[in-house]
């Protein structure tokens, strides 16, 4: 029953994409408004089919229907309910099913949002582009990544459950859906970019149509990355949160290009410039989400995040190639129309700073892409296995990060068209003193090392600039000084700066030790008294927990543990962390306590300012939400309008 329902849902979604493409193309060719409106309705057919397929999979998981091969391989009667639901995205076929559901949801949302313009060729071509992406992913579900294959289970069979690492923390239920909402969300601006190229309406109107969609997707991708780092910190037991793992990089790459686009799009809206650059950034962002899916689900990289499979990898890589070729072909075709009517009058201007910002983000993305893909290319060519680790990424990205922090301070205060030295001196006076004060405070608190001190100083400089802009906006507009794209962007900057400071401090000043303790014994690590109280055990349906009770600094007891999962016999550690505003005390058991002596081997890691990573991520999301609200704007552009004229002179408002 579940297999029949699921396959029926996938077939309905796949068929809805095919028929929707056909009806819309026929309507565009004939010019019949009725056909274009009819084509829009197939978005809801696709959504209904995907919902049916996901319902069938969840029903199969909850009822432990082991006749479905996916449930046979990954389900278990011992898996708790929350993780049983999350099992759907714990392996390849189920994750593609989740991708399809989110894609169908975005397609239906676009059709509903633009229902009054369903006869507009721009909207029609955008829906066609989304349907084409749907054909690929629902086609995968019917072939190489079919989640509803059948199997005959032995009598009394009970499955192994999902990978123990994926049922060891509640964040696993939320990190992948957030990441997918970001990944798949970039399909919407990509589809409108393709539609603008096909229709020739390459002015600034299509940007207005996709402004909030892009912010929405970027916000979810940001949340997914931060939650993934938090999951790594809370689960893997090594005390870190970012390892430049290839799959981590795969999610970071579209974030970088998407961030560059969100900055440079303001130049195109204001001055009609960077058209080719913006289209290229959108196409690159969507292409990188497909490349990231390939890296995660093809088995070409070894990672705790990655799934392995046979024939899915070549299909994803082929689709990635098609997307890149089509995008480049359309941009080349419309090259003459994409010439910008404006130009940068002075490098010391808002648009000049945004262009420099884009170059830096592109360089950052290139470094990350090179370090991620180059070892795979070498291995594919001659079979040699190379490892590109943390030192490469740190050495190559650090100067770019410093330059970006500097631009975060300078760019917001620059006027459009042309700035002067006097304007910069006036507007950067207090931010510069903020940077100096930050350096002095860091030195007083014991900061050492020129690189880290420089990072603190630039962060203070950039934070001072953002606070200044928010103060001026609030003084002019009251509470509305915190909403709108420009003002909300300053809040995002503050969150980003907070993450940069926490990252620099936690990676530079980490202290750790591995100690062996018997019950009642204490040891001092980096000024903290660690006392081993003793062991205890706890039993659950799916695992046995060996808990070690540790008292920190004579206060609260913390309980790092080793979880032995009954299915498969895998043992997974769960660290325990004392979180503080200045530093975390991270406790991780490295081996089971000795049964005879009770002796415990414990890893103790002291890391400063880690909590501000998560706080900074939350502030970034708040800033993204504020950016979604309308601020004080110029008159909106029509879908095919030309760039907005800008008055000559330099006395432009700082709030832009």
- Does 573 map to a domain? yes
Contact 421, 351 (CB under 8 A): no
Beta-bridged to residue 264, according to DSSP, are none
Task: State residue 268's pLDDT score.
Answer: 80
Domain C-terminal end among 98, 130, 162: 162
Domain-located, residue 415: no
Residue 537 lies in a domain: yes
Q: Is residue 587 situated within a structural domain?
A: yes
Least confident of 142-146, 170-174, 403-407, 601-605: 170-174
Residue 542 structural domain: 511-608
Say which residue the tokens 């991620």 belong to.
Answer: 372
Residue 654: which pLDDT band, with cuts at 50, 70 and 90?
A: very low
| Confidence band of 632 (pLDDT split at 50, 70, 90) | low
Note whether residue 90 is domain-resident: yes
Helix axes 92-113, 187-199, angle to 10 degrees: 50
The CA distance from 574 to 504, in Å, is 25
User: What are the tokens at 192?
Assistant: 């409108």
**Does residue 330 form part of some domain?**
no
The per-residue pLDDT for 573 is 85
Model confidence over 100-153: pLDDT tens digits?
A: 999 999 999 999 999 888 788 999 999 999 999 999 999 999 998 899 999 999
Label residue 4 exposed, middle or buried (CB < 10 Å: 0-12, 13-18, 19+): exposed
Query: Is residue 250 included in any domain, yes or no?
Result: no
Work out how many domains the chain is built from and give that number: 2
What percent of the chain is modeled with pLDDT above 90? 47
* Entry pTM: 0.90
Rounded CA-CA distance 532/508 in Å is: 28
* Strand segments (E) across 518-565: 522-525, 528-539, 543-552, 557-558, 561-565
Q: pLDDT (tens digit, 9 = 90+) per residue, 278-300?
A: 889 999 999 999 988 888 776 66
Among 144, 162, 180, the domain boundary falls at 162
Residue 419 has pLDDT above 80, yes or no: no
Give pLDDT, residue 412. 86
Burial of 450 (0-12, 13-18, 19+ CB in 10 A): exposed
pLDDT value of residue 319? 93
Q: What is the pLDDT averaged over residues 601-608?
A: 92
Distance CA 655, CA 10 (A): 48
Flag the least confident range among 32-36, 339-343, 541-545, 553-557.
339-343
Mean pLDDT, the chain, integer: 86
Q: Tell me which of 162, 189, 213 is where a domain ends.
A: 162
More confident residue, 132 or 234: 132
Does residue 270 or residue 309 have the better pLDDT?
Answer: 270
For the segment 555-582, the average pLDDT, to the nearest whole number, is 86
Inside any domain, residue 353: no
Q: What is the mean pLDDT of residues 617-631?
A: 88
The pLDDT of residue 347: 74
In the predicted structure, residue 308 carries a pLDDT above the cut 80: no
Cα 109 to Cα 103: distance, rounded to the nearest angstrom: 10
Q: Which of 412, 389, 501, 515 is nearest to 454 (CA)?
A: 501
**What pLDDT is attached to residue 342?**
64
Stretch 238-260: mean pLDDT, rounded? 89
């Amino acid at each position: 029953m579940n297999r029949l329902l699921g396959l029926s849902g996938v077939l309905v979604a796949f068929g809805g994409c095919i028929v929707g493409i056909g009806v819309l193309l026929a309507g565009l060719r004939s010019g019949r408004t009725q056909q274009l409106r009819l084509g829009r309705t197939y978005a809801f057919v696709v959504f209904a089919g995907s919902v049916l397929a996901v319902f069938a999979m969840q029903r199969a998981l909850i009822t432990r229907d082991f006749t479905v091969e996916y449930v046979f391989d990954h389900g278990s009667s011992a898996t708790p309910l929350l993780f049983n639901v999350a099992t759907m995205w714990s392996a390849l076929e189920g994750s593609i099913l989740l991708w399809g559901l989110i894609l169908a949801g975005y397609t239906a949302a676009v059709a509903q949002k633009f229902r009054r313009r369903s006869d507009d060729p721009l909207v029609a071509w955008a829906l066609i582009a989304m349907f084409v992406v749907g054909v690929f992913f629902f086609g995968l579900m019917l072939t190489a990544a079919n989640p509803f294959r059948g199997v005959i289970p032995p009598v009394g069979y009970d499955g192994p459950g999902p990978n123990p690492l994926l049922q060891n923390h509640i964040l696993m239920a939320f990190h992948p859906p957030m990441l997918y909402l970001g990944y798949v969300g970039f399909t919407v601006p990509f589809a409108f970019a393709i539609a603008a190229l096909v229709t020739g309406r390459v002015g600034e109107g299509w940007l207005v149509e996709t402004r909030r969609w892009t912010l929405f997707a970027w916000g979810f991708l940001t949340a997914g990355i931060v939650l993934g780092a938090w999951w790594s910190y809370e689960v893997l037991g090594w005390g870190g949160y970012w390892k430049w793992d290839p799959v981590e990089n795969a999610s970071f790459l579209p974030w970088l290009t998407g961030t560059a686009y969100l900055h440079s799009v303001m130049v195109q809206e204001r001055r009609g410039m960077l058209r080719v650059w913006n289209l290229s950034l959108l196409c690159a962002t969507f292409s990188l989400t497909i490349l990231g899916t390939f890296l995660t689900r093809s088995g070409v990289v070894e990672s705790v995040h990655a799934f392995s499979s046979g024939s899915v990898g070549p299909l994803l890589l082929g689709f990635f190639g098609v997307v890149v070729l089509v995008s480049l072909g359309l941009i080349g075709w419309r090259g003459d129309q994409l010439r910008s009517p404006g130009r940068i009058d002075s490098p010391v201007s808002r648009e000049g700073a945004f262009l420099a910002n884009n170059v830096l983000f592109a360089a950052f993305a290139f470094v990350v892409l090179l370090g991620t893909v180059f070892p795979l290319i070498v291995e594919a060519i001659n079979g040699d296995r190379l490892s590109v680790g943390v030192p490469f990424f740190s050495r190559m990205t650090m100067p770019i990060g410093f330059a970006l922090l500097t631009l975060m301070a300078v760019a917001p205060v620059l006027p459009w068209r042309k700035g002067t030295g006097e304007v910069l001196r006036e507007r950067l006076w207090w931010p510069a003193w903020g940077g100096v004060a930050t350096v002095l405070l860091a030195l007083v608190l014991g900061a050492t090392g020129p690189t880290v001190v420089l990072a603190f100083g630039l962060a203070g400089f950039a934070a001072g600039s953002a606070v200044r802009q928010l103060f001026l906006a609030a003084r002019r507009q009251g509470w509305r000084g915190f909403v709108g794209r420009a003002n909300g962007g300053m809040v995002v900057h503050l969150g980003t700066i907070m993450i940069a400071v926490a990252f620099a401090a936690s990676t530079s000043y980490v202290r750790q030790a591995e100690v062996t303790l018997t019950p009642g014994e204490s040891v001092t690590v980096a000024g903290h008294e660690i006392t081993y109280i003793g062991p205890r055990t706890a039993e659950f349906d799916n695992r046995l927990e060996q808990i070690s009770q540790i008292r920190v600094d004579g206060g609260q007891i913390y309980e790092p543990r080793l979880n032995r999962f009954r299915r498969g016999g895998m043992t997974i550690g769960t660290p325990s962390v004392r979180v503080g505003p200045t530093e975390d005390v991270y406790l991780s058991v490295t081996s089971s306590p000795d049964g005879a002596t009770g002796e415990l081997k414990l890893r103790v890691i002291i890391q400063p300012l880690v909590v501000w990573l998560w706080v900074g991520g939350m502030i970034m999301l708040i800033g993204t939400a504020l950016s979604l609200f309308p601020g004080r704007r110029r008159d909106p552009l029509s879908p095919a309008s030309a760039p907005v004229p800008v008055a000559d002179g330099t006395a432009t408002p700082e709030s832009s």
